[in-house]
Amino acid sequence: MKRGIFVSRKDSLPNGDIVTTFDIRMKEPNREPVVHQDALHTIEHLAATFLRNHPVWKNKVIYWGPMGCCTGNYLILEGNLESTDIVELMKETFEFISNFDPMYFVYGVIMTVIPMFIGYFFAILGSIIGLIIAIYLITRKDPSAKKHGYTSVCPCFFTSLRRKISNPKLLRT
């Protein structure tokens, strides 16, 4: 088998729709070295992402994935199609893959993830500082609190307010 785009099979679904499976052959079996697994895996993800977001074809894409023999990929599309119907789509797909800039991807991830982690960091830091202050206030000995019969200052506004309301003498001080 030569390199190219071939119709592997056409299947009729119970509702009468037809799906076409294409053999996107990138290497000649038993004549050339196969596509390395890492490269095939990268092609799989980039092509699948491109195809699932293609403005014209996205609603017809059912599957894109590697062949077990590592000589190409399968593409399954909705419709009774021929190889010539998807030549331009395959050119666009492989152009997208060949022009893909991994640094753009890394930059996008970094610019998305770092602000999120900075936000989490400050939220956690604020909680820890608040907890330290609360523990300090609860455990410290306050002379003015002792004067009124308390051994420590409670950081909770409502608890201290309730104590003052239950003891009218504290409201005057």
171 CB-near residues (< 8 Å, 6+ apart) = 164, 165
Reduced to 3 states (helix: H, G, I; strand: E, B; else coil), residue 26 is coil
Q: Contact at 8 Å (CB) between 39 and 98?
A: no
Residue 140 pLDDT: 61
At 68-103, the pLDDT tens digits run 899 999 999 999 999 999 999 999 999 999 888 776
What CATH code would you report for 4-103?
A: 3.30.1360.80
The Cα 143–Cα 41 span in angstroms is 70
Q: Where are the domains of the chain?
A: 4-103, 126-173
pLDDT digits (tens, 9 = 90+) for 57-66: 999 999 999 9
Sheet with 4-12, edge to edge strand ranges: 4-12, 18-25, 72-78, 61-66
